[in-house]
Chains A and B, each alone.
Chain A
Amino acid sequence: MASTTSKIYSYKFLLPAAVVYLIFFIVPTFLSFFFSLTIWTLSDWKFTGLDNFRIFLTEPSLNVGLRNSLVYAILTCGLKVVLGFLLAAFLSANLKTKGFLRSIIYFPNILSTIAVGIMFSSLMQPSRGLINVGLAAIGIQGPDWLGNPSLALLSVAMVDVWKGVGIAMTIFIAGIMAIPRHYYEALMIDGGSSFHKLRYITLPLSRSSMNSVIMLAFIGGIRSFDLVWVMTKGGPGFTSDLIASIIYKQLQGGFYGISTAGNVVLFVIVSLLAVPMYRFLTKAEVDL
C-alpha cells in the first residue's frame, strides 16, 4: 500500500505551500538571525557582531518594551480568560436575551483595531471624553487615561480586552456546550449550588477551551502593537512602548539591523515562554 500512498498523496501537493510559506515566512525567519548581527541598509550590510543586541538591550527606550510586552500580554490574556469564562458561564444559562448579549459582546471583533483605537482615544480624552464625563457625574474625577505615564499601557490593555473578550467568550461557550448534561444533573441531585456547578463541573471541563484562549490571547498580546500605535504611539515618552512597536520604530527610522535584532529577541521570548506554556497546558489537559 506504500506505493499507492505516495501516488495518491503525492508530495507535489505540498509544492505551492512550500513556495508561499517557505519564501515568505520561513526564509525571512532564518535570515533574521544573520541580519540581526549587521548594520544593514537593505542594499548593503556590515557585520557588527552582537552590537545590535547590546544596543537593543541596554537602551532604556528599547528595553522598556520587553517589560511592557510581558505586562500587556499577561494582563490582557488574564482578563480575557477570566471575564470570557464568566461571561460564557452566564450566557450558557437559559436566558431570554442571551442571543443579543452574545452578539453585542462579540461585535467589537469585526471592527478594525485602528477604528477601535480612534474610538477610545476620543472616549478617553481627559477633560471632555465620555468616560471621564460619566465618572464626573458620579463624583469621581477620572484620570488622564492615555497621558498618565503609569496608566497609558493599562488603558490600552483595557481597550484590547474590550475588543477581544468576545472571542474568548465564544470559545468558552462552545466548550461549555460540549459538556454532557448529565454531569450537571448528577450534581443537582446531590444538591449542589450554582457555584458548585461552576467550580466542580464547568471549570474543570472547560480545560481545553481554556488552553486555546490562553495561547491565543498570550501570543496575540506579546506580538501585537497596532492598538498601542494608534492610541499612544508608545508614549508618553516610551512608557507604553511594546517590543513590536519598537521593532517598527527602528524599521521606520532605517535601523534595519537593530529592528531585526528586536525581532530575534521577540522570537526568543516567544520560544522561551509560549512553547513551554503550550507544552504545560496540553500536558495538564491529558492528565485530567
Chain B
Amino acid sequence: MKRKILRVMVEVIAVALALAIFGIPLSYVVTNAGKTSVEAAQMSIAPAAETRYIKNFSEVLATSNHMLLRAFLNSTIITVVSIAMLIGVSSMAGFVMERRKSRAISWINFLVLAGLMIPPAVVPTIWVLKSIGLYKTMLGLELIEAALAFPFSVLLYRGYLGAIPRELDEASFIDGCSGLDLFVKVIFPLMKPVSATIAIITSISVFNDFVNPLYFLPGAKNVTVQLTLYNYISQYLNKWNLLFADILLISIPPLIFFIVFNKKIVSGMVAGAVKS
C-alpha cells in the first residue's frame, strides 16, 4: 500500500515536472499566438483577453505579398523531391554495398562513413553549384539535401538488407532476372519499411532545415518556411504574437507527421542511431 502511494506520488511529480519544463513553453507559444501585439509584449502565459488567431494567421500569411504561401509550396517541393532522390540513390547504393565485398567497396564505405562526421564545406559547395548553374535553385538545394542525408540512409538500407538472405537474390537470378529486375521487383519492395522510415525522418528534418537553405538558397524568391520565419524576426520587430502565429503555422506539417507516424519516427530514430 505504502509502495503504491509512493509510486503514484512519483508519477504525479514527474508529470508536473514534464508539464512545467515542456508543456509551459509550448502552451506559452500557443496562447500568445492569439493575442494582440501589445498583449503579447506582456510575455505572460495568461489567456488572451480576446483571441484573434484567425486575424494573426491571416496577417502572417499576407506579409510580404503572401511570402509564406510561396514558402510552403517551396518547402513542400524541396522535401518531396529531395527525399525521392535520396531514396532512389541510397537504396541502390546500399544494395550493392551490402551484397558485394571488394576493395573498392570498402573504400566507398569509408567515404560514406566519413560523411557522417565531416562538416560540409560551405563555400566550395556554393562554388560547385555556381559552376554547374545550380546555385540558388531548388534543384541545387534538393541535391545537397540528398547528398547530406545519403550516408545515414545508406547505413539504414545496409543494416536492413543484412537481414534479407542472399539466397533470395540467387534464386531470382537463376529464374532469369537481371540485376536491375532483381532490385526493382524483389529487393526494393522488400525494403519498403526502411524506405518509409527514411522518408518520414528525413522529411521532418528537410522541412525544418534552416542552415542549408540559408547557405544555398539565398534570395527572396526561393524562400523556404524556415527562412521566412527567420526573416520575420527582424520584420515583425518584437511582435511576438505574429512570430508565434508563424511558428504554429509552419509546425503543422511536422505535427501531422508526428501524430500519424509517431511509432515509426521513434523506431526509425533508434534503428539509425544504433546502427551508426
Q: Pick the residue among A111, A130, A219, A260 that contacts B124 (CB under 8 A).
A: A260
* A273 CB, min distance to chain B CBs, angstroms: 10
- In the assembled complex, A154 has its CB within 8 A of some CB on chain B: no
Also in contact, A17 and B23, with CB within 8 A (given A9-B96, A42-B126): no
Q: Pick the residue among B28, B210, B230 that contacts A119 (CB under 8 A).
A: B28
From 17 to 62 in chain A, residues with beta carbon under 8 angstroms from any chain B beta carbon are: 17, 20-21, 23-29, 31-32, 35, 40, 42
- In the assembled complex, A106 has its CB within 8 A of some CB on chain B: yes
Residues of A within 8 A of B122 (CB): 247-248, 251, 259-260, 263
- In the assembled complex, B159 has its CB within 8 A of some CB on chain A: no
A174 near B274: Cβ-Cβ < 8 Å: yes
Total A-B contacts with CB atoms under 8 angstroms apart: 252
B250 near A266: Cβ-Cβ < 8 Å: no
- In the assembled complex, B89 has its CB within 8 A of some CB on chain A: yes
Q: Once the chains are docked, how many angstroms separate the CA of A13 from the CA of B89? A: 8
From 254 to 268 in chain A, residues with beta carbon under 8 angstroms from any chain B beta carbon are: 256, 259-260, 263-264, 266-267
Also in contact, A25 and B257, with CB within 8 A (given A13-B92, A17-B89, A125-B43): no
B11 near A97: Cβ-Cβ < 8 Å: yes
Q: Once the chains are docked, how many angstroms separate the CA of A11 from the CA of B100? A: 9
Q: Once the chains are docked, how many angstroms separate the CA of A216 from the CA of B28? A: 30
Label chain A's interface by main secondary structure: helix
A25 near B14: Cβ-Cβ < 8 Å: no
Interface string of B188-218 (1 = CB under 8 A from A): 0000000000000000100110110011000
B128 near A90: Cβ-Cβ < 8 Å: no
A270 near B274: Cβ-Cβ < 8 Å: no
- In the assembled complex, B138 has its CB within 8 A of some CB on chain A: no
Interface string of B107-126 (1 = CB under 8 A from A): 01001100111111111111
Also in contact, A110 and B89, with CB within 8 A (given A119-B247, A263-B123): no
CB-CB nearest in chain A for B254: A110
B251 near A115: Cβ-Cβ < 8 Å: yes
Interface size of B in residues (CB-CB distance below 8 Å): 94
Also in contact, A23 and B121, with CB within 8 A (given A8-B179, A14-B96, A101-B18): no
Q: Once the chains are docked, how many angstroms separate the CA of A170 from the CA of B41? A: 36
- In the assembled complex, A226 has its CB within 8 A of some CB on chain B: yes
- In the assembled complex, A238 has its CB within 8 A of some CB on chain B: no
Also in contact, A110 and B22, with CB within 8 A (given A209-B274, A213-B273, A263-B123): no
- In the assembled complex, A180 has its CB within 8 A of some CB on chain B: no
Q: Pick the residue among B111, B148, B182, B274 that contacts A8 (CB under 8 A).
A: B182
* Interface CB pairs A-B, < 8 A, 18: A27-B124, A27-B128, A28-B128, A29-B118, A29-B121, A31-B128, A105-B22, A106-B266, A112-B208, A112-B210, A112-B251, A115-B250, A118-B244, A167-B273, A175-B274, A212-B276, A226-B210, A267-B121
- Given contact pairs A103-B262, A112-B254, A209-B273, enumerate 10 new A-B contacts (beta carbons under 8 Å): A7-B173, A8-B179, A14-B97, A16-B89, A20-B147, A25-B147, A118-B229, A118-B244, A212-B276, A248-B122
